[in-house]
Amino acid sequence: MNRATLNQIVDLAASILFLGMLVTAYILWVALPPQTHRLLTLWGVTRHQWGTVHAYLSFAFLAVVALHLALHWKWAVSVVRHRLHRSAASGKDVARSAVAAVFVLGVVFGLFAWAIQSGVQPLPESQLGDVHPSSPQPVKDDSETLGSEVPSPEPTLSFEADILPILSEHCVDCHGPQTARGGFRVDERASWMGSEESTVWITPGDSDASPILAVLTGKRPIARPEVHRLPDRDVQLLRQWIDGGAPGLESLPH
Ligand code: HEC
């Protein structure tokens, strides 16, 4: 294979990988936004799995770009030399610049790694619903919320870990992206919090002022009452989550 063909193949691969990165970024952004990984799949693939695909595409892209650079190494070196007003180099110079390049790259990468390491912070309290295992809040224990003795003060529940599983089991078939009965979607904030055209179903922090609980306990008349009755345990979890400020709800799309 000659050099020109090889270059073409490498560039084509880079373009395809880059396109793949864009497509998966779009999926992660628009189709399966944060918080949806227990609720939605696209072609049977969850948000987390799409994230992994996105990461691998990026690594492959990086590898192909490195290959591209290697194929054009002579050119890159001569441009740099020209910039530095240096003429043809001796072997010693090449070795020295290689060492310098590795050193510079090492320093840049070291700074990058340090910035990342020190940049990771726990989420502020208001968004604690987004994280679970590392949450400093007491994590709920199923057995405790089950029976009559509810621990006090009640721990704040997480939308993702505690509430989404209930909604995806009992609601999403009729109130999700595919079918939204009555225009209500469990994966949209405005459906819960109300908007100009729709009812307020949840008032964060106040389960008594949240009519959704009356729906799910059969106290409020609604179409298909049999599908809107939830087991007591699930109702209790929802109540506890709403009283804890319904964390995670505000980060759902619109
Ligand atoms: C088998 C289908 C089905 C399931 C499952 C289901 N619903 Fe419904 N839901 C309906 C239908 C049908 C309506 C009435 C829609 C209409 O008024 O046109 C409705 C209405 C609603 C409404 C009122 C919407 C409005 O503003 O009028 C809410 C809120 C609601 N459902 C919440 C839930 C929740 C929460 C769950 C899960 C616990 C759930 N539903 C499960 C079919 C379903």
Mutate to test the pocket of ligand 1, among 228, 230, 232, 241 (most ligand atoms within 8 A of CB): 228
Of 36, 28, 7, give the one whose Cα is nearest residue 188: 36
Q: Which atom of ligand 1 is nearest to the CA of 184?
A: 24
Rg (CA), the chain: 27
Task: Report which residue type is found at 88.
Answer: A
Length, in residues, of the chain? 254
Ligand 1 center to 22 CA (angstroms): 36
CB 176 within 8 A of CB 242: no
Band (77; pLDDT cuts 50, 70, 90): confident
Ligand 1 center to 123 CA (angstroms): 33
Mutate to test the pocket of ligand 1, among 192, 222, 226 (most ligand atoms within 8 A of CB): 222
Average pLDDT, the chain: 83
Which residue's CA lies nearest to atom 30 of ligand 1?
Answer: 184
Across the range 56-73, mean pLDDT stands at 90
Q: For 251, what's the count of Cα atoms within 13 Å in the CB-facing half-sphere?
A: 18
Across the range 177-193, mean pLDDT stands at 90
User: How many whole angstroms separate alpha carbon 81 and alpha carbon 211?
Assistant: 72
Of 38, 24, 28, give the one whose Cα is nearest residue 186: 38
Of 203, 205, 171, 175, give the one whose Cα is nearest residue 188: 175
Ligand 1 center to 215 CA (angstroms): 9
Ligand 1 center to 154 CA (angstroms): 28
Ligand 1 center to 228 CA (angstroms): 7
Ligand 1 center to 140 CA (angstroms): 28
pLDDT at 186: 92
- Per-residue pLDDT tens digits for 207-227: 999 999 999 999 998 999 999
CB of 175 sitting under 6 A from ligand 1: yes
Q: Token pair of 26, please? A: 């779009």
CB of 230 sitting under 6 A from ligand 1: yes
pLDDT at 135: 46
Ligand 1 center to 188 CA (angstroms): 14
Across the range 30-49, mean pLDDT stands at 83
Which residue's CA lies nearest to atom 39 of ligand 1?
Answer: 171
Q: Which atom of ligand 1 is nearest to the CA of 211?
A: 29
Out of 6-15, 99-108, 166-175, least confident range: 99-108
Task: Report which residue type is found at 27.
Answer: I
